[in-house]
Chains A and B, each alone.
Chain A
Amino acid sequence: MLSRVANSIFWMARYVERAENVARFIDVNLHLMLDLDIESASQWRPLVHTTGDEEAFIERYGEDWSQDAVLRFLVFDTTNPNSIVSCVRAARENARAVRQSISSEMWELANRFHLMMRHAGGGDRLVENPHDFLTEIKMASHLFVGLTETTMSHNEAWNWARMGRLIERAEKTSRIVDVKYYFVLPNVEYVGMPYDNLHWAALLKSATAYEMYRKRYRRIAPEWVAEFLILDRDFPRSVRHCLVKAEESLRAISGSPPGAYLNTAELRLGRLRSDFEFARINDVISGGLHEFLDDAQSRINKVGDAIFDTFIAARPIEPDAVPDVEPDVSDNDNSTHSGASTI
C-alpha cells in the first residue's frame, strides 16, 4: 500500500488510542480525588508528567496545577498537541487523508468523534459531569477499535492500524506505571496504609485492569500490580501483550518467514518483545523498575523510527523488490536477509 497511507493509518490509530488513554488517566484521578483528602496539585501534576508535557503546561499555565487548569490543558487545549481535542482532531485528519482505505463507518465515527469534541468546546459538560463525558470519549475509542476489527479486511491497512494502536498503548501503559511508581508512592507515610491500596487500585483502574487483576491475584501488592501491567501475557493493555501483538502485525506487513527478520524495525521490536517475554518481575524491580521502563520507552521510540525509515520514508527505486537492511550502527546490529540470521 501507499507509504503515506500506511503512515496516516498508523497515526490515526495512535491518536485515537492516545485520546482514550488521556481520558482514562483523568477519569481515574478524579475518582481518586474523591477518596483522598490531599492537596490537589500533588495529584494533578503527575498526570501532566505522564503525557510528557510538563514544560508546555508551565509555559501556558505557570505553576497553577489546579484541577481546572490541568483538565483544560489535557482535554480542550487546542494548543496542546496531546490534549484529547487535539488527538481526536489529528486522528480525524489522518482518517480523512486515507478515507478511501478505511471503511466508511470508521471515517464517519472519526468525524463524529471530532464534532462531539468540538461541540463540547466550552468544557461545561466536563465540569458538570466529568465521568459521563470521559466515558463517552473512551467508548468512542472502543467503538473505533471495534469498527476496525469488524468492518476492515484484516489486510495490510488493518495491520498498520493495529500496530499503531498497540505501540501507543505499550508506551502509555509503561508511562503510567512509571509515573505512579515514582511520583506517588515514595510518600513514606502512605506505604502500607489504606491509601496505598487506593493508589494501586487506581493505577489498575486507569488501565481497566482492576477486575482482571483480581481474578489472578488475591491481594494488591505493588510488585504484582507492576507484573500484571508490564509482563502479563494475556491482559490486552499490558506492555508485553501489546509488544507481542504489534510484532505480529509488523511481521505480517513485512511478510517475514518464521524465525527470520527482514528489516531493522523487526529486529528492534523482536528484541524488545523478547526482553519482556523472558523478564521476571523480581529481577526488574531489583534492577530498578524506573530504569527498566525508561529504557523500554526509548526503545519503543526507536522501533517507531525504524518503522518510519523502513516503510514510510521515500526510498529510491531498486532493481529487485527485496530491500536492503541498513546496518544499524547505533544498536550495533548487523542484520541481513531472511535465512541468514535468525532470532
Chain B
Amino acid sequence: MNFNGYTTDGFFDEMFLDGSDPRPGGRLLKERIESLQEGDLLRRQKAAEVALLNMGITFNVYGDEDAEEKIFPFDIIPRIIEAREWEPIERGLAQRIRALNAFLHDIYNDQNIIRDGVVPEDLILSCAAYRPQCAGLKPPLGIWCHITGTDLVRAGDGQYYVLEDNLRCPSGVSYVIENRQILKRTFPHVFRASRVRPVDDYPIRLLETLQCLAPHAESPTVVVLTPGVFNSAYFEHAFLAQQMGIELVEGSDLFVQDGVVFMRTTDGPQRVDVIYRRIDDDFIDPHAFRSDSALGVPGLMDAHRAGRVALANAPGTGVADDKVIYAYVPEIIRYYLDQDAILPNVETFLCWRKEDLSYVLANIAKLVVKPANESGGYGMLVGPHATKAECEDFAQRIKANPRNYIAQPTLALSRAPVIVGDGFEGRHVDLRPFILLGEETHILPGGLTRVALKKGSLVVNSSQGGGSKDTWVLDETPDASLTFRGGVDPADVLPEGDEAEGDH
C-alpha cells in the first residue's frame, strides 16, 4: 500500500505537509509502510485487532445491550509528535494543572479568587460538580487533582488548543500503554529508528504519586477502587492495579471502622491508606453523597476529612472541569501563577451571559454546543452536522437552562491518515495527555490519540464510534538527511510481520 492519492483536503494533517509529502517525523514511517509487501499492512492491522480481542481490551457501551463488549477500534498507523512540538505542550499542561489545583484548594478553603472578583461566586456554587461537603478540606500535600487527562485539539493553523479538562476520573491511559505494546510489535524497526519516548513507566509513576499521599505510613497500602466488572472502564481499573501490583477493590471490599478504612481479606481486616478511586464523587460514600449508592463505602468521606485515608482524585475536583469554569482558566492561571497561559483555550461563548446567548442562538448552525457538566461526547450538538430541527430543539434547551450550556466555533480539527479499505484516508483526531501531580509533576509523553473513524465526523469519543492510535513523541526532531535503510537491507528479508504474529 502507498500514500499516492492521499489528500489532506486543506486540513492540518499530522503526518503530511500536503499531498504525499511527509512531515520530517513521519518520513521513516511512510517509507516503511510503502516498502511493505502487498497485503502486509492489512495483515498487521488484523493481527493487532485479534491481539486486542484476545487480551479482552474491550469496553461496554451504555444503552447497547446486545453488544456487551466491543474492542476499542484501533488504527495501527501511529500519530507522530515531534520533540519541538511536544515541549510547549508539556510546559503548558504543567502550568495549567498547577493553576487548577491551586484553584480547587482556594475555592474549597479561602475563596480568594471569588473575593477578588476573578470568577463569580454564583458560577461556582451553581456547578453541578461543586461539592459543599468538601469545604474546608485540606488533602495531603494540598493536592486535589492527582491524575488529570486534558483534551487537546489542533486547529487548521497547527496550533494546539485545550478543548477540555478532565479532573475527575479520566480514563484511557491503559489504551496508551497497550497500544504501544502492539505498535512495538507492528513496526519495530521504525520504532527504534524514530527514537520514541517510552510510556511504560506510567504505572510506576502513578504508584509513586499515590504513595506520597500517605507520608506517615512506612509502606502504605494503596488500592484501586472500581465500580465493578460492568463499568465501561473496568479493563483499565484491573490493568492499572495489576501493573502497580496493588489490590483492585470494590466498595463492598472496604469498610470504615473508628474512622479508619479497612479491606476484608482472608487474613482479616487490613488497613488501607490511599485509594485511587475510579468511582464518581456522587457514589463514593452514601453517607456523604447519594444515599442510594451501593458502589461506595459508608463513612469514607469522614475518614478522608480526618486525614486517615487519602483519596485520589480528591472529591470535588469536578468543579474545575465544568465547561463554564473552563472559559476562566486563562484568568485562573494568571491569578495564581502570574503567567500567561502557554496552551490557549478554544474561544468559548457562555450562554449565561446575555450577549453570548444571543450570539449563540443566532449562529447555532455554525457552532458546537456542549452541556457544561457532561463528558463522553453525550448531549452535544455539532451545528454544521445537525438538522434544522435539531438546532431548534437545542436552542430551546439552551434558553431553558443557559447556565448549563457553552458554545464554541466548529474547529477544523487536524487529521491523521487511517487505514480505510485498502488505502488511506484522513480522519480527525484529538489528544488526551495524562498528567500526574504529586511531589513531582509527571506528564506522560504523548497520551491517547482518539480518532473519529466516521468520515468527516468531529466526535472522537469511544462511546460515539471513535477509535484510537498510538502516539509517538519523538525524543528529538529527526534529521532531514536520515533515510530509512534505502535500497535492499538484509533485515527486510525477514518481514516485520513475523514479529507481529509470533507473539500471540
- Give the B-binding residues of A (Cβ under 8 A): 1-6, 93, 96-101, 104, 107-108, 111-112, 115, 156, 253, 311-312, 314-315, 317-318, 321, 323
Partner of B262, one of A99, A104, A115, A317: A317
Please give, as numbers and ranges, the residues of chain B lying within 8 Å of A318 by CB-CB distance.
268
Do residues B238 and A96 form an inter-chain contact, with CB atoms below 8 A?
yes
Contacts A97-B229, A99-B242, A100-B241 known; A111 to B54 CB distance under 8 Å?
Answer: yes
- Give the A-binding residues of B (Cβ under 8 A): 53-56, 224, 228-229, 234-235, 238-239, 241-242, 246-250, 252-253, 257, 262-269
Q: Beyond the given A1-B265, A2-B249, please list 9 additional residue pairs across the A-B interface where CB-CB is below 8 A.
A: A1-B266, A100-B247, A101-B248, A104-B242, A115-B53, A115-B54, A315-B264, A317-B268, A321-B268
A1 to B249, CA, bound (A): 11
Interface centre among A4, A96, A253 (most CB of B within 10 A): A4
Do residues A111 and B266 form an inter-chain contact, with CB atoms below 8 A?
no
A156 to B250, CA, bound (A): 20
Do residues B248 and A100 form an inter-chain contact, with CB atoms below 8 A?
yes
Do residues B229 and A111 form an inter-chain contact, with CB atoms below 8 A?
no
Partner of A314, one of B228, B264, B267: B264
Please give, as numbers and ranges, the residues of chain A lying within 8 Å of B266 by CB-CB distance.
1-3, 6, 156, 253, 311-312
**24 A-B contacts, Cβ less than 8 Å apart?**
A1-B247, A1-B266, A2-B247, A2-B253, A2-B265, A3-B253, A3-B266, A4-B252, A5-B248, A97-B228, A98-B248, A99-B235, A99-B242, A99-B248, A100-B239, A100-B242, A100-B248, A101-B247, A101-B248, A108-B54, A108-B55, A115-B54, A317-B268, A321-B268
Please give, as numbers and ranges, the residues of chain A lying within 8 Å of B247 by CB-CB distance.
1-2, 5, 100-101
Do residues B56 and A111 form an inter-chain contact, with CB atoms below 8 A?
yes
Main secondary structure of the interface of B (DSSP, over half): mixed
Distance in Å: Cβ of B298 to nearest Cβ of chain A: 14
Do residues B268 and A315 form an inter-chain contact, with CB atoms below 8 A?
yes
Distance in Å: Cβ of B278 to nearest Cβ of chain A: 13
Contacts A2-B249, A3-B253, A4-B252 known; A96 to B264 CB distance under 8 Å?
Answer: no
Do residues A4 and B253 form an inter-chain contact, with CB atoms below 8 A?
yes
Distance in Å: Cβ of A98 to nearest Cβ of chain B: 8
Distance in Å: Cβ of B289 to nearest Cβ of chain A: 23
Contacts A93-B229, A111-B55 known; A323 to B248 CB distance under 8 Å?
Answer: no
Do residues B56 and A317 form an inter-chain contact, with CB atoms below 8 A?
no
Please give, as numbers and ranges, the residues of chain A lying within 8 Å of B229 by CB-CB distance.
93, 96-97
A312 to B265, CA, bound (A): 8
Partner of B267, one of A100, A112, A321: A321
A-B pair number, CB within 8 angstroms: 75
Distance in Å: Cβ of A96 to nearest Cβ of chain B: 5
Contacts A107-B56, A111-B55 known; A317 to B238 CB distance under 8 Å?
Answer: no
Do residues B257 and A317 form an inter-chain contact, with CB atoms below 8 A?
yes
Distance in Å: Cβ of A305 to nearest Cβ of chain B: 16
**Nearest opposing residue in chain B for A94, CB measure:** B229
Please give, as numbers and ranges, the residues of chain B lying within 8 Å of A3 by CB-CB distance.
253, 264-266
**Nearest opposing residue in chain A for B270, CB measure:** A2
**Nearest opposing residue in chain B for A313, CB measure:** B264
**Nearest opposing residue in chain A for B266, CB measure:** A311
Do residues B238 and A100 form an inter-chain contact, with CB atoms below 8 A?
yes
A105 to B237, CA, bound (A): 18
Interface centre among B234, B241, B252, B264 (most CB of A within 10 A): B264
Please give, as numbers and ranges, the residues of chain B lying within 8 Å of A315 by CB-CB distance.
264, 268-269
Please give, as numbers and ranges, the residues of chain A lying within 8 Å of B267 by CB-CB distance.
1, 321
Distance in Å: Cβ of A317 to nearest Cβ of chain B: 5
Please give, as numbers and ranges, the residues of chain B lying within 8 Å of A96 by CB-CB distance.
56, 229, 234, 238
Distance in Å: Cβ of B79 to nearest Cβ of chain A: 26
A115 to B57, CA, bound (A): 13
Contacts A96-B229, A311-B266, A317-B269 known; A112 to B249 CB distance under 8 Å?
Answer: no
A150 to B341, CA, bound (A): 53
A156 to B229, CA, bound (A): 23
**Nearest opposing residue in chain B for A96, CB measure:** B229
Please give, as numbers and ranges, the residues of chain B lying within 8 Å of A104 by CB-CB distance.
55, 242
A318 to B241, CA, bound (A): 28
A98 to B238, CA, bound (A): 8
Interface centre among A99, A108, A156 (most CB of B within 10 A): A99
Partner of A2, one of B54, B242, B264: B264
**Nearest opposing residue in chain A for B243, CB measure:** A100
Do residues A99 and B253 form an inter-chain contact, with CB atoms below 8 A?
no
Counting from the closest, the 10 A-B pairs by CB-CB distance are A99-B238, A100-B241, A100-B242, A111-B56, A311-B266, A100-B248, A3-B264, A317-B269, A6-B266, A100-B238
Please give, as numbers and ranges, the residues of chain B lying within 8 Å of A97 by CB-CB distance.
228-229
A324 to B94, CA, bound (A): 53
A111 to B239, CA, bound (A): 15
Distance in Å: Cβ of A90 to nearest Cβ of chain B: 12
A97 to B235, CA, bound (A): 10
